[in-house]
Chain A
Amino acid sequence: MASTSTAPAATGSTATAPAPVRVVVPPGGWRADLRGVKVVWQRELIRFWRDKLRIVTSLVQPLIFLFVLGGGLSHLASGGTEGVDLRTFMYPGVLAMAVLFTAMFSAASVVWDREYGFLREMLVAPVRRGSIVLGKCFGGATVAAAQGLLVMALAPLVGVPYVPIMILQVLALQLLLAFMITAFGVMCAVRITQMQAFMALMQMLVMPLLFLSGALFPLAGLPRWLEVLNRLDPLTYAVNPIRTAVFDQLDLTAAARAALLPGITWFGWNVPIGVQVLVVVGFALAMLSVAIWEFRRA
């Protein structure tokens, strides 16, 4: 009883509040879930844009691979590339790689959000958990594709022309790849509470996946064991279509194409590009489902 007397006078600054605003929160349903997807997606974009340093640092690694490693090895590799610059060959792989790291960082934000409590704000909201996961994955895909565009701008430096159809094809593939990687990352992130552990796990998984995918070497004449691992790596089915899209715009000899872009075979069957893309879509949806399922129980 005695306590109430001190209250109103204590804060002079809040004395004149505007008239009350009546709010009735609408019932749920798919509209609410759609809003959930959108707002989580937007937040990823805002945070990416805020973090200029991240934009720059995620560019460094692909550039080192392309110009330092590619440049350094180009003389050594010149015997096997049928006259094509090694950097030109590696460029599509680096396009995939740029997306990979950015998408991974996006997924890491789940761990981050948990550590700083923000995850809770999302988990208690009256939207389905699945819409939060979906928002994260779309956010990761968008942000990564933006990063991919930056790398795409470098095309002329490695002898690849700007061709609108190629840019669209590559962008679509990058979006798909980034979506898959973010879903994969979120799937892992749900169970991990520490940032260091997540980053270590990602490094451990992503680097081998990248190397096995053929991003940095052609799929022709591989040892048997490497070929098997390559076919099992989901990234293979994203890297090869990206490389095909880029090489389609280059003036390559038949010999060069056969050596550098032999295509993917399953037990002797030449897998069409469309099927390769479907494999990535399949992986992406599977990982998304697992991520959503895990999130529901979190």
Chain B
Amino acid sequence: MSDGPRTGATIQTPAPAGAGDGGHPLAVEVRGLVKRFGEVEAVRGIDLDVRAGETFGFLGPNGAGKSTTISMLCTLVEPDGGSALVGGHDVVAERNEVRRNIGLVFQEPTLDAYLTAEQNLRFHAELYGVPKALVPARMQLVLEMVGLWERRKSLVSTYSGGMKRRLEIARGLLHAPRVLFLDEPTVGLDPQTRSSIWSYIETLKGQEDITIFLTTHYMDEAEHCDRIAIIDQGEVIALDTPEALKASVGKDRVQLQVDDDDAAIEALRDRFDLEASIAEGHVTFAVAGGEEFVPRLFAELGVPIRGVSVARPSLDDVFMSYTGTTIRDAEAGRQDPMLAMMRGRR
């Protein structure tokens, strides 16, 4: 935080007690967090550590407890048990301290459509006490980051869904939070807008010293995260980098194009002790270290091969291996109240 010659103004206000520069090595620290809604235990004793500066993804089907957890971390919902520190501050005892240090982008829009983008940001800046002299520069920075600087004078009611979401992200960043919470930042947006939102997030990571905590139920989006926690039925069932999680599934999926499928399946069983089946019209099997296996396959199979493809396991495979179901099926199941209840009590 040294004063360097830069175009933007630099300010140093005394940091609040306990939030020293560099501060806590952990941006979020959760221990045994519990939330009940009547009979239903929505969050069932979660432990989490999010390191400062990382992009942390919270992955799970709708109704898994993601939003409830994020609401507790943002001081909107009080936990029924356990503890959570955000930026080193307790979410129950130091509520305002936490609020000052976080930015929030909710699933539902929280903009005033009857104000301009600029007025929405000014409101926010004032509410969070961003020093007056810094507001114009900061506002330009965040609006340019999301590509809305030219439209700052327009009423938010004239914005498209994607623009509104971008404006919300800009607003969440305006007061330079240490942790930015994004609850399903791309839900309900078209694929092109989704990818542009992600590119803004990547740009942001390059510009700001910030921790990002996001929830998603899109597997492909979880790939953007440094680490992911997979949450299902209120519990964290896996937590690691996307690569490590995929590696934990272990096996790659290999598909062969051969003239004689039956002979290939038989040869795989006899010579490599692998169970293969026909999937998507090709002989398919799972094997650890698929790429290394391919040369052996050519040398020893004894059946002419016309083509081979090796696929690394996807996060879908990861989710499947931990829960025994795909995320899509898990969500479909949630809609059946009886089934949900039975699962909740399993």
Contacts and interface: CB of A to CB of B under 8 A. Distances in A.
A19 interface: yes
A208 interface: no
A221 interface: no
A126 to B, nearest CB: 4
Contacts of A14: 144-147, 200, 203
Contacts of B134: 21, 23
A35 B108 contact: no
Given A26-B13, A27-B16, A126 B128 contact: yes
A20 B207 contact: yes
B110 A28 contact: no
A11 B199 contact: yes
B195 A25 contact: no
A7 B127 contact: no
Contact of B11 (A24, A27, A36, A46): A24
Count chain A CB atoms within 10 A of each CB in B1, B112, B196, B224 and give the residue with the most. B112
Query: Which 6 residue pairs spanning A and B have beta carbons closest together?
Result: A7-B202, A21-B8, A10-B199, A23-B176, A19-B6, A126-B99
A181 B134 CA distance: 38
A8 B203 contact: yes
Interface in A1-38: 1-4, 6-8, 10-11, 13-14, 17-28, 31-32, 35-36, 38
Interface size class of B (residues with CB under 8 A): 35 or more
A161 to B, nearest CB: 39
A128 B97 CA distance: 12
Interface in B4-37: 6-13, 15-16
Interface of A: 1-4, 6-8, 10-11, 13-14, 17-28, 31-32, 35-36, 38-39, 42-43, 46-47, 50-51, 113, 116-127
A1 B242 CA distance: 9
A124 B74 contact: yes
Contacts of B16: 27
Contacts of B200: 11, 14
Contacts of A17: 141, 144-145, 203, 207
A25 B129 contact: yes
B176 A11 contact: no
Given A35-B126, A43-B123, A124 B76 contact: yes
Nearest to B221: A3
Interface in B181-205: 195-196, 198-200, 202-203
Contacts of A120: 106, 108, 110
Given A14-B144, A18-B8, A23 B207 contact: no
B119 interface: yes
B128 A125 contact: yes
A126 B87 CA distance: 15
Given A24-B13, A117-B108, A122 B224 contact: no
A7 B7 contact: no
Given A116-B113, A117-B109, A124-B104, A8 B199 contact: yes
Interface in B282-335: none
8 contacts: A6-B199, A11-B147, A18-B144, A19-B8, A25-B176, A28-B100, A117-B110, A119-B110
A123 B111 CA distance: 13
B8 A13 contact: no
B126 A24 contact: no
